[in-house]
Chain A
Amino acid sequence: MSVAQVSAKGEVTVRDLSKSFTLDGETLTVLKNLDLDIAGGESLAIVGASGSGKTTLLRVLAGLEEPDSGGVLIDGAPVHGLGKERAVIFQEPRLLPWLTVLGNVSFGLEVQGISRSEAEDKARHYIRLVGLGEFETAWPRQLSGGMAQRVGIARALTVQPEILLLDEPLGALDAMTKLTMQEELTRIWTEEKVTMALVTHDLEEAIFLADRVLILPREKGAHPRLIDIDLPRPRDRSETRFVRFRQQLMAEFGLH
C-alpha cells in the first residue's frame, strides 16, 4: 500500500460498522459490516452511487450519527459522539449570518470555551490561509459561494483538528470555482498535515485530491474497493495516468 504520508496522529480505524435507518416502518440498511483504515495524514476520497452510504459513513465518523453496531477508533482509542480532534466541512458553508467572517471562523473555538481574543487570533491566521484576509469584517451575505465555502473551511481548520471530514464540500460550486478550490484544498492539506476524509460524487475531484479512493458498493455487506492513486502532487488532470485512473473509476460505475 502506498499511503503517501504517515503521521502518528489522526489515524482512523473503522471496525464492523453497521448503520440502518427506519423509514416509514421499514428498516433501510445503509452500511453493513464495514471495515476501513485511514492512516494518519492520509487523504481518502469516498465515492459511491447515491444510497451507498457515503454521507452516512462520514456522519458516523464525525459523531453526528451513532452506529448501530461496530465502531470507530481514533489513534487506537474508541470514540463515541463528537470530538475536538475532528471537524466537519459541510456541502453548504453553514455560516451564521449575524456574525462577520471573523466571528464565523472563530465560532468553533469560542464554542469550545476558548476566549474570544485567542479564538480570533487563530481565526485570523486561517482566514489569511484561505485567502480572505481582506474580508474579516464582511458579512456572509456579501460573499460569493466560493468565498463562503472558504470561510467554512477556515472555521473547521481553526479548531486545528487531526481529522477533517468533508461532505461534498465543493458540490454546490460552479465549475471554475471548484477547480480553484480543489487546488486550495490540496495546498491546505499539505500545509496542515491533517487526515482528510472527503465524500464526493466527482470522480476527477477524488483522483485529484486523494491518496486512496474508497468505492462503497451498492450491495450491503460486500467488500468496498480501494484504489491507490499513486500520482505525484501537484497533479495534472490531463496527464495520461490521471486519465487512466479516471477511466478505471468510471468503469467501476459502469460508465465510459
Chain B
Amino acid sequence: MTYQLTDTAEQAPSKRIAGIVNTPRLRLFLGNAVADYGLLFAFFAGWQVASSAGWLNPAVFPPLDHVAAALWTGIVSGALLDDIAVSLQRAGITFLAAVGLGIPLGLFMGQIRAVERALDPILQLFRQTSALALYPVFILLLGLGEASKVFVIFWATLFPILLATIGGVKEVDAKLVEMARSFGASRTTIFRRVILPASVPPIFVGLRLSATTALLLLIAAEMIGANKGVGFQVMNAQYNFQIPLMFAAIFLLAFLGLAANRVLVLLQRRLCRWSLTEH
C-alpha cells in the first residue's frame, strides 16, 4: 500500500489542503502524483531556481521559463511545427516500412528452420553493424537527400522487429502446438490460432525497441545532413546560440519518444489483455 506511506510523508501539505479538499479520492490522487512525479518536479524546480539564481550558467542552462517561451514561440510561429512534421514523417514512414517488412518476414523465417538457420549469421552481423557507421555508405549510394536518411533509420529499426518476431515464433510453446494438432488443426490453423497470438507480446518488445531506435537515428541523421527536422533544429539552435530553442527542441524529442512508447503500450494492452497482470 504505497499511497498510505506517501500520505504520511506528505501529511503537512495535505493537512493544509484538507480544508479545501477533503475527499479521500483526491488525497489518494495527490499522493500518487507525488509518488510518481515528485522527483521529476523537484528536478525541474531545481533547474529553474539554480539557473535564475545564477548557480548554473544561464547561457548553457537557461531558466525553464525561457525554454518554455522558446517552445511556445516556435509552435505558434509554426517553425517548430514544420520540424515536427518533417521528423515524424521521416521516422513514421520508416518505422511503418520496417514493421511492414519485419513482421511478415520474421513470421516466415521463424517457421522454417532451414531459412532461419541460413539467414541467422548474416542477420546477426548486420544487426551488430552500427547503422550510424553505415550512414556514410548510404550517403555515397543514395546521396545526401531524404533517401539516405530514411534508409539509415529503416536499417536500424528493421532488425529489432525482425529478430523479435523470429524469436517470438521460435519460442512458441511446442506443447501448445501439439495440443492444437491433437484436435486435428491444420498448419494454417495452428499458425493463425496458436503461433500468431503467442508471438504478439515478443513482437511488441521489438516494436518498442525499434521505435526508440527510430527516434535516435532520426536525430543523428538530421544532425548530420538536414535542413529541417527537430534534430536539425537542436544543432542549428546551438550554432546560432539560441540555447532556449535548443532545449525546447530537446524536450520536444523526449516528448515524441514518450508519446511513441505510450501509443505502443496502449496498443499492446488492447491486443494482449490476456497477458497483463492484474492491478
Q: Is A166 an interface residue (CB 8 A)?
A: no
Chain B residues within 8 Å of A99, by CB: 274
A64, A97, A139: the one within 8 Å of B182 (CB): A64
Number of interface residues, chain A, beta carbon within 8 A: 25
Residue contact A141 to B181, C-beta cutoff 8 Å: no
Known: A83-B184, A98-B198, A159-B183. 10 other contacts (CB 8 A): A63-B182, A84-B184, A87-B182, A94-B178, A94-B179, A98-B272, A107-B180, A110-B193, A111-B185, A112-B183
Q: Is B189 an interface residue (CB 8 A)?
A: yes
Segment 172-227 of B: residues with Cβ below 8 Å from A: 175-176, 178-185, 189, 193-194, 197-198, 200
Residue contact B176 to A82, C-beta cutoff 8 Å: no
The residue of chain A having its C-beta at the shortest distance from the C-beta of B193 within the complex is A111
Q: Is B275 an interface residue (CB 8 A)?
A: yes
Residue contact A111 to B189, C-beta cutoff 8 Å: yes
Q: Is A108 an interface residue (CB 8 A)?
A: yes
Question: Across chains A and B, which 10 residue pairs bring their CB atoms closest together, nearest first?
Answer: A108-B183, A94-B179, A111-B185, A98-B274, A88-B182, A98-B197, A111-B183, A139-B274, A82-B184, A94-B175
What mask results when residues 75 to 111 of chain B are scored 1 for a CB within 8 Å of chain A, else 0?
Answer: 0000000000000000000000000000000000000
Chain A residues within 8 Å of B197, by CB: 96, 98
Residue contact B180 to A97, C-beta cutoff 8 Å: no
Q: How far is the CB of B275 from chain A (nearest CB, A)?
A: 7
Residue contact B184 to A97, C-beta cutoff 8 Å: no
What mask results when residues 120 to 159 of chain A are scored 1 for a CB within 8 Å of chain B, else 0?
Answer: 0000000000000000000111100000000000000001
Q: Is A189 an interface residue (CB 8 A)?
A: no
The residue of chain A having its C-beta at the shortest distance from the C-beta of B197 within the complex is A98
Number of interface residues, chain B, beta carbon within 8 A: 20
Residue contact B182 to A82, C-beta cutoff 8 Å: yes
Chain B residues within 8 Å of A159, by CB: 183
Residue contact A96 to B175, C-beta cutoff 8 Å: no
A-B contact count (CB 8 A): 52
Q: Is A45 an interface residue (CB 8 A)?
A: no
Task: List 23 A-B pairs, Cβ < 8 Å.
Answer: A64-B178, A83-B184, A87-B182, A88-B179, A90-B179, A94-B175, A94-B176, A96-B176, A96-B193, A96-B194, A96-B197, A98-B198, A98-B274, A107-B180, A108-B183, A110-B193, A111-B180, A111-B189, A111-B193, A112-B183, A112-B184, A139-B274, A141-B274
The residue of chain A having its C-beta at the shortest distance from the C-beta of B175 within the complex is A94
Q: Is A183 an interface residue (CB 8 A)?
A: no
What mask results when residues 57 to 99 of chain A are scored 1 for a CB within 8 Å of chain B, else 0?
Answer: 0000011100000000000000000111001101010101111
Chain A residues within 8 Å of B184, by CB: 82-84, 111-112
Chain A residues within 8 Å of B176, by CB: 94, 96
Chain A residues within 8 Å of B198, by CB: 98
Residue contact B182 to A92, C-beta cutoff 8 Å: no
Residue contact A87 to B275, C-beta cutoff 8 Å: no
Chain A residues within 8 Å of B274, by CB: 97-99, 139-141
Q: How far is the CB of B87 from chain A (nearest CB, A)?
A: 35
Chain A residues within 8 Å of B193, by CB: 96, 107, 110-111
A82 to B175, CA, bound (A): 16
A64 to B183, CA, bound (A): 10
Residue contact A97 to B181, C-beta cutoff 8 Å: no
Chain A residues within 8 Å of B180, by CB: 107, 111
The residue of chain A having its C-beta at the shortest distance from the C-beta of B176 within the complex is A94
Residue contact B183 to A92, C-beta cutoff 8 Å: no
Residue contact B179 to A97, C-beta cutoff 8 Å: no
Residue contact B183 to A62, C-beta cutoff 8 Å: no
A112 to B189, CA, bound (A): 10
Q: How far is the CB of A161 from chain B (nearest CB, A)?
A: 10
Segment 193-233 of A: residues with Cβ below 8 Å from B: none
A99 to B197, CA, bound (A): 10
Chain A residues within 8 Å of B183, by CB: 87, 107-108, 111-112, 159
Residue contact B275 to A90, C-beta cutoff 8 Å: no
Q: How far is the CB of A27 from chain B (nearest CB, A)?
A: 24
Chain B residues within 8 Å of A63, by CB: 182
A111 to B194, CA, bound (A): 11
Q: How far is the CB of A48 from chain B (nearest CB, A)?
A: 22
